[in-house]
Chains A and B, each alone.
Chain A
Amino acid sequence: MAYAAFLVLAVLAIGSAVGLILRKNAIHGALFLVVNLGSIAALYLMLGAEFLAAAQVLVYAGAIMVLFVFAIMVLIPGKEEIGPDPRRGARLLAVPVGALLLLLLVFGVVARWSGPPVPGGPSGSVAAVGRLLFTSYLFPFELTSVLLLAAMVGVLLLARRRA
């Protein structure tokens, strides 16, 4: 049962990722990315990371994707990437290089690390993660707020129309 759910979610995630990089229309790509983020949120649930699944839906599928869709609507007057690609040959090299990278990742990381699953992993409930964030990771957590504030100020500065 768990294997079937994993298989469905993995196919969804990979299919939507391929759709994102192959579709010409950026808005279709954004919708594919929403599907991808949602299936990763479901995978977090299967791994027992409940807090992260909720945060994924709220932060990524909610806030970040709204920003993306908004930017696409504002920016693109028509079709992008029209016309022939002057560097098509160089870009197509990405496919063999990507295959090489995948082989490297699978054999370098995954193969050394296989084994039976460990039963009874940590609970990723809101209470457990929250306790960790507010004890061991308190200082980075506070720094995050400074980072977000700096990003907000920087965006305001960039978005201001030049007088």
Chain B
Amino acid sequence: MVPESYYVTLSAVLFTIGVVGVVIRRNPLVIFMSIELMLNAANLALVAFGQRYGNLDGQAVVFFVMAVAAAEVAVGLAIIVTIFRLRRRLSVDDLSLMRW
């Protein structure tokens, strides 16, 4: 049986790749997908921790994270589509209209 710390290490690697992806890319869709990557890495760590401590609460939290991620993706993609409709360009460097 694989020790849980292996899963947590894999989760740390995936989370880091997600962070790097958010910073180095300019396409908001790819940035969004990198955020999904980070959410999944956190979910994997939660399941591994729950397995280690022998209760199911971690898995229940992962279920809620999935539901929130679904809502977040729907709203986020709608915002991106609306911005694209207004500007006809899709690069995060142009997007300062929500900054005060």
A residues apposed to B, CB below 8 Å: 2-3, 6, 10, 13-14, 17-18, 20-21, 26, 29-30, 33, 36-37, 40, 43-44, 46-49, 51-52, 55-56, 59-60, 63-64, 67-68, 71-72, 74-76, 80-81, 85-87, 91-95, 97-99, 101-102, 105-106, 109-110, 113-122, 124, 128-129, 132-133, 136-137, 140-141, 144, 147-148, 150-152, 154-155, 158-159
Contact = CB atoms under 8 A, between A and B. Distances in A.
Contact of B51 (A36, A47, A55): A47
Given A102-B13, A110-B12, A117-B4, 18 more contacts: A3-B2, A14-B10, A14-B17, A20-B21, A20-B37, A21-B18, A21-B24, A21-B30, A47-B48, A52-B43, A68-B73, A71-B29, A81-B26, A81-B91, A122-B51, A136-B60, A148-B70, A159-B78
B95 interface: no
B65 to A, nearest CB: 10
Given A74-B81, A75-B80, A101-B16, A133 B23 contact: no
A13 B8 CA distance: 13
Dominant secondary structure of chain A at its interface with chain B: helix
Contacts of A6: 2, 6
10 contacts: A17-B37, A20-B34, A21-B21, A29-B33, A52-B63, A68-B29, A80-B27, A94-B23, A110-B8, A154-B75
Contacts, number: 231
B17 to A, nearest CB: 4
A18 B21 CA distance: 9
Contact of B25 (A3, A21, A113, A159): A21
B39 to A, nearest CB: 9
B66 A129 contact: no
A43 B56 contact: no
A76 B54 contact: no
Contacts of A159: 78, 81-82
